[in-house]
Amino acid sequence: MGFLRERRSAIVETGGPPVKAAIIGTSGHIDLALEVRDRLPQVTFVGIAPGSADEDTREFFVEQLEPSMIPFYEDYHRMLDREKPQVAIVAPFFFLQSRIACECLERGIHVFVEKPMAVSFEQLDRLRRTHALGKAALCPMLPSRYHPAFHSAWRAVTDGLVGEPLLITAQKSYKLGTRHPMYTHRATYGGTIPWVAIHGIDWIHWFCGGRINNVSASHTAAGNRGHGEMESSGVCLYRLANTGCAALTFDYFRPGSAPTHGEDRIRIAGEKGVVEVADGEATLLTHGAAPRRLEKEEPLSLFQEFIRSIEEGSTMRITAEEAFAVTDLALRSREAADTRSVVALRSAT
């Protein structure tokens, strides 16, 4: 609580005028925004609406928001017209994310959008062009760079402690459970590479500064327990500009009995040593020194940092440009897996 109070007072000291936020869709991790309600007193939630008529947002509304007297809207356009929010939290069915994000940006509303920001290159191009109008800010729900252990590892790498990163191994493993039918169609879901692997893609992009030449990949829907087209697992192999490479595995095979929903790991190796993150801790092993657990920063909230960046102009660990690059990389990785070919990357950001 002491920590929470400190954070709150820090925000109150530096915060600007009240910020009105609206929620469009509850199919993604809007908890990333809701979890900081207590810490962001200047943010008021002014409404919630489904992203499409067939999305059941009511249940979430009743469970999470009704006591707070936030109005529920059937149509988000009406909500935006009426409430005039400064920020939209956009988490509809995944294939609608980019379209609704564009609509909000065009209205000058800042957008905190579930990843992937787009499920096709066309969607991504449109979103990029709309964002380039400069009317509002855009941040995807890609909080990987704000995980304390991963940030510690990234600091170790950027401080040169392992040398040039030449071999990166990353793992994203999730519990499957029973998922909404939206997940069972590529057209509505987008694929497991853009949905799950994208966090690992974000790490890899971050650790190597986006300097990636091409990608090979593989994925399968086998073992998905009746989830239609949804891929259960796969691997992406990235060839880095420094001649090194990165391997990313992703799967929904984490048993329900496991202690946490996800199991995130990364290992970065170079001439000088190896840094690893597993079980939420970062460990460094270098020549001539015993293995050392790295100190971690206090947890930061992605949404809080987004609000801060809007209010204060501070720079986020993942910029909109980087988010576009990471999303593009996810779509190209999916293409590599679909076509079983090596896909060159347009540009190294």
CB 55 within 8 A of CB 92: yes
- What is the Cα 319 distance to its own chain's centre? 12
Q: How far is the CB of 201 from a copy of itself (least distance, A)?
A: 15
Tell how strand 281-286 and strand 245-254 pair up.
Answer: unpaired
Smallest separation, CB 334 to a copy of itself (Å): 14
Least Å distance between CB 322 and a copy of itself?
Answer: 24
CA 68 – CA 64 distance, rounded (Å): 8
Give the three-class secondary structure for 34: helix
The smaller minimum CB distance to a copy of itself, of residues 154 and 174, is found at 174
Tell me how far, at minimum, the Cβ of 257 lies from a copy of itself, in Å. 6
Strand order, beta sheet including 167-175: 292-293, 281-286, 273-278, 262-270, 167-175, 245-254, 233-240, 212-220, 343-344
Q: How many other CB atoms are there within 10 angstroms of residue 69's CB atom?
A: 7
Q: How far is the CB of 218 from a copy of itself (least distance, A)?
A: 4
CB count in 10 Å sphere of residue 311 = 15
Applying CB under 8 A, the residues found at the interface with a copy of itself are 162-164, 166-167, 169, 171, 173, 216-223, 225, 232-235, 237, 239, 242-247, 249, 251, 253-258, 267, 269-274, 285-291, 340-342
In the complex with a copy of itself, the residue whose CB is nearer, 287 or 315, is: 287
Q: Which is nearer to a copy of itself, 120 or 218 (CB)?
A: 218
Rounded to the nearest whole angstrom, what is the least distance from the CB of residue 178 to a copy of itself in the complex?
A: 13
73 or 252: whose CB is closer to a copy of itself? Answer: 252
Q: Which is nearer to a copy of itself, 56 or 271 (CB)?
A: 271
Tell me the C-alpha distance between 58 and 76, whole Å.
13
Here the tokens at position 254 are 């984490």
Q: Tell the smallest beta-carbon distance from residue 176 to a copy of itself (Å).
A: 9
Residues 183, 224 contacting (CB under 8 angstroms) = no
Q: In terms of CB distance, is 84 or 272 closer to a copy of itself? A: 272
The residue (of 89 and 336) whose beta carbon lies closer to a copy of itself is 336
Torsion sign across C-alpha atoms 59, 56, 78, 119: positive
Report the candidate in 281, 250, 91, 224 with the shortest Cα–Cα distance to residue 169.
250
> How far apart are CB 142 and a copy of itself at their closest, in Å?
23
> Does residue 215 contact residue 339 with C-beta atoms inside 8 Å?
no
Of 19, 14, 13, 83, nearest in space to 48 by CA: 83
Nearer of residues 239 and 317 to a copy of itself, judged by Cβ: 239
